[in-house]
Amino acid sequence: MRMLNLTVNGRVHDVPVDDNELLLDVLRTKVGCTSVREGCGVGACGACTVLVDGRSVSSCLALAVRHDGAEIVTADGLPGDDAVVEAFVECGAMQCGYCIPGFVLMTHELLAENPQPDAEQIAAHLEGNICRCGTYPEICAAVTSAAARGARL
Amino acid sequence: MTETALREGGEEPAVGARWQRAAARGKVRGTTKYVADLPVPPCAQVAVYRSTRPHARILAVDVTQAAALPGVQAVVTGQDLFALLGERLLTGPAFADQPALAYDRVRYVGEPVAAVLARDLATARAAVDLIAVEYEDLEPVYDVETALKGEFFVHDVLRPSSVFGDLSHLRGKRDTNVCYEYNLRTGDVDAVPTDGVTTVSGEFWSPPVAHVPIELPCTTAWVEDDRLEILTTTQTPSYVRQAVADLLDLPLNKVRVRTSVLGGSFGSKMYDRLEPLAAALAWSQQTAVRLVATREEAFLLTTRHGAGVTSSMSADADGNIVAATADVAYDTGAFADVGPRITAKSGMVAAGPYRVENAWIRSRCIYTNKPSAGPFRGFGVPQVTWSHESLVDELARELGEDPAEFRRRHLLREGDEAPMGTVMHSADFVGCLDAVTDEIGWTTPYEKGEGRWRRGRGVAVGMKAVLTPTIANAVIQLNQDGSATLMISTVDMGQGSDTIMPQIVAEVLHLDEGSVRVVAADTDTTPYDTITAGSRSTYHTGNAVRAAAEKMRDKLVDLAAQRLGVAASDCKVTSGGVMSTTAQETVSISDLMHGHFGARGTTLTAEANFTTSWQPYDHETGRSRQVTEHWFAGAVAVEILVDTMTGRVKVEQLAVAGDVGRAINPTLVEQQLTGAAIMGIGHALFDELVFDQGQIVNGTLLDYQLPSVRDVPAKLTAHVIESAHRTGPFGAKGVGETGILAIAPAIANAVRDAVGVRITRLPLSPERVLEAMTEAGVS
């Protein structure tokens, strides 16, 4: 057990963790971010996506101890008027909703690198995330809409 | 799509409006709580020892080392539970054939044999590795062909569980692997003259596939006072309460089953999943337990039935379809689950949505030593649609007719009697077919191409009956401030019931968007509902909700009449409250209730039941005048490209249509149609559970492929057809499954069009397409 220093959504947390604990479990059970979810446990579905220092990470594959001092953003910590969130809501880009926070964070990562992505670039960036309800058309529309709004974290 | 007229006074109607999905923002931000996110008491974490043998007698289970591991609270075996519960340990929606833990025999690789309760999951899993089981192998039955030989049996004796009305005719059986057989005999296929008759036939195969909702199954159970509380990912809370009460011999009011919105399900979170085991462990150990399936375990909990269909379709010299036959075999794995229902409901439509005078169908549900198959979006119907929509297409081609036009000529119309004897109503197959063929420009010429990529078009039509008979209930609590709380046991899994049920209440009571909240299913407070499945909720629960809202409207009218001293017939509910024409006065709900009760914060309740009835099908002929309450009708048209170098199929355009009677919320209907289409593209092109000696070999998301954003056609459109149902709430019916029924055959028919090969085995993987082209000499 060692103390881990994490900044999650702008708030500092010092949490005791075991060496083999996953970032996913630490965020869910010790920080309280239940928007971060396990879907596959092998980094193949994207439901556990978080932004670590601005980069998307599958938290189900990430050992927590390797992220001491990291700045982490989860979907539930996005600002109240976040443009990506607004775009997803307005485009109806959710059905069961379980996977959507992962898509929202991937969209933030994409738009930070490429503020005006085309359809191919959107698909290339989101192809690792699975929405089993098949909400992809609405999700792609939401990304385009967020880009038009000038989404910035 | 019909546009709904504004009501009197310019008020927007609620039914037919594109209300935003309930909890939209919470779902996007991730603040919506799913079952695993909700608070529960401190729990023992449970890991499960699973059988390593497909079929074996359990000789001994040694848990000594596991129990001695520090941090382990208990190790429970099937024998322990059997000693406590006897045959009650066996549960299931059709036959009581599923033990929460295997106690005498294991029937598939992965069947639970023992459970470890520990302080944390890592300890529980470490202890599982210390359990040693001694087996005596029995002859395994890996496939339906072996099962039908009847040399070895997966179960020696079958006992009906007698839970559901449509399965009340099941009887005990022994020494057979066929747990159910449905036969349809209409006309006489053998008496059809062969002169000038064209017959096409085939052997069709749909492999088992996995549901893979991204939310993993999670069940927590604990004892509070002398009651059992269960918080679980289920789409059948009322069933789970009954199953657990039976298991533990408790009165229904001592079992509380709660759920939350689900992170998808598609049929996977139904009936007996983790719940019987969690309940048995919590009750026997008098402690709190938490079971969460890993993704690999979730693959073992349930699958879609692999199904083989040997079938034929014949037309006479005038091009009339004169006969259809189908011999259908559903591989249900180690447990029947709801396979008997699937077998009957799919068998009865295996001749397709066509006017066919002579039909012979046999549909059987067959045990094998594999993980259990259960309901999956479509309830077995996609597997028979794969057969009849391939056959009818081939028949049209044999006759030199256009496949869409040939279907159009033979499709069942309003008032026609379907092959199983039920008269059609509110099933506009032709309207659906017209919509999708118009959308893709079916009649406009196109170049198939001669180079590497070949273009093709295909259509297919789907037909499914809703589960009948079933039961739904609704309780509305109207609050003094004019907001309402709706208590139903329908579970929102993404289909949108938490959005459309409030729209129905709001339509009747003239309430605003956002003013009606649905209580998450909780058997302590929300009333019985058969299942949230089979696309039945909009019609059934919707009717109960509408009736409850109408009773509430009558109560409000009576209160207003009393208060204003006018006749009830003079009062009506409007958006501003209850209005009296005589008194020229409108009283708001808030004032009306405050005045009546003399207090703020009071409530009025109204409740209603909606139960459907049927005429059970005849057991010799499979026919019934009313086999179902209503029909689902859908159609799909696609334009695809086939890569002749690799065999890869790329869906360029897909149009999907469904007759929903009336769209309560068109946006959500369209999402159900396109979402089902995307899932169906996976089933058509790559989705497949692969087994080796009864063991799943691709049961992880590294190996199991699911549709991604890359698989969405460049053009994907949903078409809402509305032929109002005479007893639907505002004419409405469900839609969750309609879109998926005909996707695979539409794509296969387009492959046939593009490169001239008829493929009868799913999925249409590049290897399979290439192999078929090579065999046919297509370059």
HEC string of B284-337? HHCCCEEEECCHHHHHHHCEECEEEEEEEEEECCCCCEEEEEEEEEEEEECCCC
Provide the residue type at B306 as one letter.
G
Same domain as A67, residue A8? yes
pLDDT of residue B11: 77
The whole-number pLDDT of residue B3 equals: 44
Does residue A37 have a pLDDT over 90?
yes
For B569-622, the three-class secondary structure string (H helix, E strand, C coil) is HHEEEECCEEEECCCCEEECHHHHHHHHHCCCCCEEEEEEEEECCCCCCCCCCC
Over 70: is that where the pLDDT of B8 sits? no
Q: Check CB contact under 8 Å for B31 and A76.
A: yes
Cα–Cα distance, B748 to B764 (Å, whole number)? 7
Average pLDDT of span B94-109: 98
Buried b (16+ CB within 10 A) or exposed e, B510-541: bbeeebbebebbbbeebbbbbbbbbbbbbbbb
Task: Tell me if B675 and A134 make a contact (CB, 8 A cut-off).
Answer: yes
Q: What is the CATH number of the domain that holds A93?
A: 1.10.150.120
Residue B192, CB half-sphere, CA atoms under 13 Å: how many?
26
- Looking at the predicted structure, is the pLDDT value of residue B4 above 60? no
Angle between helices B275-285 and B237-248 (to 10 degrees): 40
Q: Which residues contact B172 (CB under 8 A, 6 or more apart)?
A: B157, B158, B159, B160
Instruction: Check whether residue A54 and residue A112 sit in a common domain.
Output: no
Residue B663 · residue B734 · CB < 8 Å: no
A88 and A143 assigned to the same domain: yes
Bridge-based pairing of strands B358-367 and B321-333 is parallel
Task: Tell me: pLDDT of A32 over 80.
Answer: yes
Whether residue B179 is predicted with pLDDT greater than 90 in this model: the reply is yes
Coarse DSSP helix, strand, coil percentages of chain A, rounded to the nearest 5 percent = 40, 20, 45
What percentage of residues in chain B have a pLDDT greater than 70?
99
User: Quick check: A19 contacting B, CB < 8 Å?
Assistant: no
Type and span of the H or E element at B637? strand B631-643
Q: How far apart are CA B478 and CA B685, in angstroms?
A: 49
Mean pLDDT value of segment B577-596: 96
Pair (A42, A88) in one structural domain: no
Residue from the list B36, B294, B494 with its beta carbon closest to the beta carbon of A96: B494
Q: Which of A56, A77, A98 is the last residue of a domain?
A: A77
Residues contacting B655, CB < 8 A, separation 6+ = B435, B436, B439, B440, B636, B637, B638, B716, B717, B719
Give A44's contacts in chain B (Cβ within 8 Å).
700-702
Tokens coding B564: 């204003």
Same domain, A115 and A139: yes
Q: What's the pLDDT tens digit per position in B230-251?
A: 999 999 999 999 999 999 999 9
User: A130, B214: Cβ pair inside 8 Å?
Assistant: yes
Domain end position, chosen among A37, A55, A77: A77
Q: Same structural domain for residues A119 and A58?
A: no
A10 with A71, same domain?
yes
Cα angle: B473, vertex B38, B220; to 5 degrees: 80
Q: Is the pLDDT of residue B769 over 80?
A: yes
For residues A17 and A1, the answer to whether their CB atoms sit within 8 Å is yes
Nearest of B365, B319, B310 to residue B340 by alpha carbon? B365
Whether residue B9 is predicted with pLDDT greater than 70 in this model: the reply is no
pLDDT tens per residue across span A81-104: 999 999 999 999 999 999 999 999
* Nearest-angstrom CA–CA distance, A126 and B635: 30
Contacts B740 to A, Cβ<8 Å: none
- Can you tell me the mean pLDDT for B562-574? 97
Distance CA A72, CA B100 (A): 41
| A-chain residues near B264 (CB < 8 A) | 95-96, 98, 132-133
pLDDT in tens, B217-234: 999 999 999 999 999 999
Give the count of alpha carbons within 13 A of B413, CB side only. Answer: 3
Tokens of B768: 């399979």
Same structural domain for residues A7 and A61? yes
A89 contact residues in B (CB cutoff 8 A): 20, 24-25, 28
Number of Cβ pairs closer than 8 Å across A and B? 157
DSSP-derived letter for residue B761 is B
- Residue B664 gets which letter from DSSP? S
Nearest to A97 among B27, B216, B295 (CB): B27
Number of domains in chain A: 2
A65 shares its domain with A90: no
d(CA A132, CA B675): 8
Helix (H) or strand (E) holding B669: helix B666-685
Query: How many percent of chain B have pLDDT more than 90?
Result: 97
Q: Is residue A96 within 8 angstroms of chain B, CB to CB?
A: yes
CA distances from B724 to B364, B488, B539, B697, B747 (A): 34, 24, 12, 46, 29
Dihedral Cα B347, B348, B349, B355, nearest 10 deg:
140
Task: Express each pLDDT in B721-743 by its tens digit.
Answer: 999 999 999 999 999 999 999 99
Task: Give pLDDT tens digits for B455-493.
Answer: 999 999 999 999 999 999 999 999 999 999 999 999 999
d(CA B201, CA B634): 24
Q: Do B28 and A140 touch (CB under 8 A)?
A: no
- Banded pLDDT at B5 (limits 50, 70, 90): low
A125: chain B residues, CB-CB within 8 Å: none
Give, as one character, the DSSP assignment of residue B103: S
ipTM: 0.98
The Cα B353–Cα B407 span in angstroms is 9
Residue B165 sits at φ, ψ, to 5 deg, of: -60, -40
CA B33 – CA B208 distance, rounded (Å): 32
Provide the token pair at B114: 């023992």
Longest alpha-carbon distance in chain B? 87
One domain for residues A106 and A133? yes
Given a cut of 70, is residue B413 above it in pLDDT?
yes
CATH number at residue A44: 3.10.20.30
Rounded to the nearest angstrom, the minimum Cα separation between A111 and chain B is 17
Query: Are the CB atoms for B719 and B662 separated by under 8 Å?
Result: no
Residues of A in contact with B31 (CB under 8 A): 35, 76
CA angle (A120, A122, A124) in 5-degree steps: 70
Put simply, the answer to whether A136 touches B709 (Cβ < 8 Å) is yes
Name the token pair of B55.
């079929």
Mean pLDDT, range B614-623, rounded to an integer: 96
Q: Which stretches of B88-131 are assigned E, i.e. beta strand?
A: 90-91, 98-99, 105-106, 112-118
Contact of B90 with B304, CB cutoff 8 Å: no
Mean residue pLDDT of chain B comes to: 97
CB contact under 8 A, B30 and A135: no
Give the per-residue pLDDT at A153: 65
Q: What is the chain B residue with the closest CA to A75?
A: B29
* Distance (Å) of CA B256 to CA B150, B161, B219, B283, B570: 42, 21, 13, 13, 44
Mean pLDDT value across residues B445-462: 97
Residue B350 CA to residue B363 CA, distance in Å, equals 9
In angstroms, the separation between the Cα of residue B632 and the nearest Cα of chain A is 20
Catalytic pick from B737, B767, B771, B775? Answer: B737
pLDDT of B2 reads 41
**Domains, chain B, ordered by start:** 8-32+470-611 (3.30.365.10), 37-140+212-301 (3.90.1170.50), 379-466+620-775 (3.30.365.10)
Residue B704: partners with Cβ closer than 8 Å, 6 or more residues away:
B210, B212, B299, B689, B698
Q: Are A71 and A121 within one domain? A: no
B447 in catalytic set: no
Which of A133, A136, A144 is best to mutate for the B interface (most B CBs within 10 A)?
Answer: A133
Q: What is the CA radius of gyration of chain B?
A: 27
Residues A57 and A95 in one domain: no
What pLDDT shows up at residue B370? 98
Neighbours of B693 (CB within 10 A): 11
| Domain containing residue A9 | 2-77
Residue B377, pLDDT > 80, answer yes
Residue linked to tokens 């390593």: B52
CB A3 within 8 A of CB A14: yes
Domain final residue, candidates A77, A107, A138? A77
In chain A, how many H helices and how many E strands?
5, 5
